[in-house]
Amino acid sequence: MTPMGTPVELMLAKLTRLGGLDQQDRAAIGSLRFRVQQVPAGKLLVRTGDVPSECCVLVEGYACRHKSTSSGGRQIVSFHLPGDILDVQHLQLERADHDVETITAATIAWVPASELRELLRTRPKINDALWRDALIDASIFREWVLNVGRRNAESRIAHMLCEFATRREAAGLGSPERFDLPMSQHQIADATGLTVVHVNRTLQALAASGVIERRGREIRIADWPRMREVADFDPAYLHQQAA
Amino acid sequence: MTPMGTPVELMLAKLTRLGGLDQQDRAAIGSLRFRVQQVPAGKLLVRTGDVPSECCVLVEGYACRHKSTSSGGRQIVSFHLPGDILDVQHLQLERADHDVETITAATIAWVPASELRELLRTRPKINDALWRDALIDASIFREWVLNVGRRNAESRIAHMLCEFATRREAAGLGSPERFDLPMSQHQIADATGLTVVHVNRTLQALAASGVIERRGREIRIADWPRMREVADFDPAYLHQQAA
DNA sequence: CGTAGGTTTGACTGATCTCAAGTTTGGTGG
DNA sequence: CCACCAAACTTGAGATCAGTCAAACCTACG
């Protein structure tokens, strides 16, 4: 079920999902110089203030981006799965405004930003696909603002689970009915603006009400219609239908 | 102090701030076909699910984007000031995933999305500038996730005020020391994930502690260093220094 | 001047946090 | 294969920040 592959295959799959590529586009992606790296869980790939000269693609494993308040509060602003480009923003913005960190052991492919920038100029369809990718990212951030700003704990966590299940499936990583969460309850708390304690109780409440079943980090969404309702989840913001 | 101007002048000023443009770029912007419109406060310019074929530039007045939960909770995800392009995302994404609404009477300039898309293809520097604009938008959303997710009421509101003051100044709209808020306390509540009642009390607390002074909607930031501290505000996420 | 929207106040409630202590799990070295 | 350890998860009790409900009070504008 894991759509393993080389960095090139993953990027092609992702960009193709985002819009049509022609033969020359594929060739251009194929000739990018990837530097592949194995990293452990909890590795900071980019940190706030960095001036990265490479972009990284997540090949295998999971990652997240996060920001912190000066008093130490941590907020995860997105989760990422295999195929995701972790920092398109550094193609155009000099300094990183957030951290990028693996949440499991992972395989990362680094590409020189200059080579990708060249593709934006010379390959209009790749430019379009990366635009779409960046704009979908932004759409997800907007939904997260709504999620942490206006939903209660149960909805927030349910929404996060729905999004994870849906994106996972779209990336070809398997069924949205049942899956293993890569992140700890602490990380769920940091993503939803709650505390670990309350995340724990809320997951129990979701299980008690029968919308999900849990065994360790394995989640089964037992009742999707009810889950969608509890989560207030409408996948439109993921813009998944190819444009 | 208000940098009034035609839509063309405003866009040129904005794109120039975002990166260099050459003479041909300026000419290309100059030949865009703008349709200018006066609209009252509270006018929905784009609504969720729309398939817009025009992009709009805010020429005069203020606007915001917002999303809602199915139970009616409203979350403002960004505020906009003159010069802002209100919906770059519709250049690449078919359906709007949020509403765009004026918060004061405003002047709007509409441009056919097809013409802007043409510029992305043919004018690399305009492509770069719009990329930067979209990526800065995304950076602001990330900061807002942190704001509503991890800061208390006082910090949240102070942060929103700092951002407004800073962006206002960057747009050439006047001093960040003293200004009139265009938005109601209800709208501040919707932007910060709080209730009107609590926004009201928190504004009073900020005034009582001496960091701001208020007279109606006029705000004076009486003590910027302390304000920055209360707000936990670091403008780096606005990426204002031209790249 | 009347009125609606915006702001302010008070009293009470409740969702989520904090602190503090267990319990389980998974990985690691002997 | 087992013993151990740290990290992750769970539970309980009490505290608090922000919400709710309800009612005035402004104040700008028609």
Name the β-bridge partners of B102: B63
In the block, tokens 């592959």 appear at A5
Which residues on chain B are in Cβ contact (under 8 Å) with A91? 131
Backbone angles phi, psi at B95, to 5 degrees: -105, 140
B161: distance to nearest CA of chain A, Å?
Answer: 17
**pLDDT at position B1:** 42
Hey, what amino acid is at A77?
A: V
Separation of alpha carbons B14 and A135, rounded Å: 20
Q: List the pLDDT tens digit at each of the 243 positions of chain A.
A: 445 678 889 999 999 999 889 999 999 999 999 999 999 999 999 999 999 999 999 999 999 999 999 999 999 999 999 999 998 999 999 999 999 999 999 999 999 999 999 999 999 999 999 999 999 999 999 999 999 999 999 999 999 999 999 999 999 999 999 999 999 999 999 999 999 999 999 999 999 999 999 999 999 999 999 999 999 999 999 999 765
3-state DSSP assignment of residue B108: strand
Name the β-bridge partners of B146: none
Across all strands, nucleotide nearest B198 (CA–C1'): D18
**pLDDT at position B4:** 63
Name the β-bridge partners of A219: A179, A214
Name the β-bridge partners of B107: B38, B60
Write down the H helix ranges in chain B: 7-18, 23-30, 113-122, 124-150, 153-170, 185-192, 196-208, 224-231
Separation of alpha carbons A66 and A100, rounded Å: 7
Separation of alpha carbons B26 and B68, rounded Å: 38
**Please, are residues B44 and B56 in contact by the beta-carbon 8 Å criterion?**
no
Tokens of A10: 């993953």
For residue range B91-125, list pLDDT tens digits in order: 999 999 999 999 999 999 999 999 999 999 999 99
Number of H helices, E strands in chain A: 8, 10
Contact call for A138 and B136, based on CB within 8 A:
no
Report DSSP state, residue A150. H
Tokens of A171: 């990336």
Query: From the C1' of C16, which residue's alpha carbon is nearest?
Result: A198
**Following CA atoms B101, B108, A139, B200 in sequence, which dihedral angle do they give, to the nearest 10 degrees?**
-40
Tokens of B97: 């995933």
Across the interface, of A49, A75, A124, the residue whose CB is closest to B146 is: A75
This prediction's pTM: 0.96
Which residues on chain B are in Cβ contact (under 8 Å) with A149? 75, 148, 192-193
Contact call for A75 and B150, based on CB within 8 A:
yes
Tokens of B215: 């007279």
Which residues surround strand C, with CB < 7 Å? A 152-154, 193-195, 197-198, 216; B 184-186, 196-197, 200-201, 203-204, 214, 217
Q: Minimal CA–CA distance to A149: which of A206, A193, A186, A195? A: A193
CA A89 to C1' D19, in angstroms, rounded, equals 38
Which residues on chain B are in Cβ contact (under 8 Å) with A142? 65, 67, 77, 97-98, 141
Write down the H helix ranges in chain A: 7-18, 23-30, 113-122, 124-150, 153-170, 185-192, 196-208, 224-231
Which residues on chain B are in Cβ contact (under 8 Å) with A77? 142, 145-146
Contact call for A138 and B89, based on CB within 8 A:
yes
Q: Minimal CA–CA distance to A34: which of A94, A111, A105, A100? A: A111
Across the interface, of A75, A121, A132, the residue whose CB is closest to B92 is: A132
Contact call for A120 and B97, based on CB within 8 A:
no
Residues of chain B with pLDDT under 50: 1-2
Contact call for A148 and B243, based on CB within 8 A:
no
Contact call for B145 and A143, based on CB within 8 A:
no
Hey, what amino acid is at A94?
A: E
**pLDDT at position B20:** 85
Backbone angles phi, psi at A77, to 5 degrees: -105, -10
